[in-house]
Amino acid sequence: MRITRAVVPTLFTVLNMFCGLLSIVQASEGAFVNASYFILLAGLFDALDGMMARLTKSSSQFGVEIDSLSDVVSFGAAPAFLVYKVHLHHYQEWGLIISSLLMIMGGIRLARFNVQLVGFDKDYFTGLPIPSSAFAVVSYLLTFMVDGQRLEGTAAVMLAPLCVALSLIMVSKIKYDTLPKLSSKELRKHPVRTISFVFSLLLILFTKGEALFYLFALFILFGAARSAYYWLVPSAQPVRTQPEEAGTPSYDI
């Protein structure tokens, strides 16, 4: 049996999926903080598998498919189960439906991305990426959970609207920036984006993660506001140098 270079990124993808399963197991046992951290850890492995695929030059259709399957588990099923166990189970059938939207819409978002991958604009994602949705949910829970077990007051009331909003934004045509590569070339091409990304990382470290939810909220709201502005003022939208998704107008809501 010949081991190819593709094994390296696939290993990180499998670890991503495994973290998703561990998150579900932890949530089922009431360890909601641990469940949240496993979703964040899955995000780290998700970033590393793409990085290793580029370094080993082993990108493939197989890699795309298994990555999407892993993402549905770690960033769709795991956060959906987590929000249901933390609070949405109080709403019974409606809570189950609302929590499932994170997985269902995330799966649709991934399927759309995969079929449009050839024409993918490398500067922007169309719709909120499913990992960003999962991180927004997880950071919300870590920020507002009481004793790592429950939500109270306004935080409890806002969880369901947050899940619905994130689900709809994932399948929208709102444009969201891709993460910049930390290089001098990227700094020259996208100085504001790169500096903002570095500043955000430093702020997360400085606040020991407490700023994470607020940064994700700002990222999501900024993308939506920018998309609305370009829709209202088409002449203001920048000229693209990368190919757009086939048949998709720029910044269409």
Mean pLDDT of successive 10-residue segments in the chain (253 residues)? 70 95 97 97 91 77 87 97 97 97 96 74 83 96 93 96 97 88 75 86 89 94 92 76 37 33
In a domain, 191, yes or no: no
Q: What pLDDT, on the 0 to 100 scale, is given for residue 152?
A: 94
Residue 204 lies in a domain: no
Contacts of 172 (CB under 8 A, 6+ apart): 127, 128, 253
Strand locations in the chain, DSSP E? 124-126, 175-177
CB hemisphere CA count around 216 (13 angstroms)? 21
* CATH number assigned to the domain comprising residue 84: 1.20.120.1760
User: Number of folded domains in the chain?
Assistant: 1
Q: What is the largest CA-CA distance in the chain?
A: 58
- Residue 133 parent element (H or E): helix 130-144
Query: Is 18 contained in some domain?
Result: yes
Cα gap 215→186, rounded to integer Å: 21
Structural domain range at position 131:
7-172
User: How far out from the chain centre does Cα 72 lie?
Assistant: 11
63 belongs to a structural domain: yes
Q: Check residue 109 and give its pLDDT.
A: 94
Q: With respect to residue 249, please indicate whether it lies within any of the assigned structural domains.
A: no
Q: Is 238 part of any domain?
A: no
Q: What is the pLDDT of residue 246?
A: 33
Is the Cβ–Cβ distance between 48 and 12 less than 8 Å?
A: yes
14 Cβ contact list (under 8 Å, min separation 6): 66, 70
Output the pLDDT for position 52: 83
CB 227 within 8 A of CB 127: no
Separation between Cα atoms, residue 16 and residue 143, nearest integer Å:
23
- What is the rounded distance in angstroms from the CA atom of residue 7 to the CA atom of residue 172? 34
- What is the reported pLDDT for 57? 76
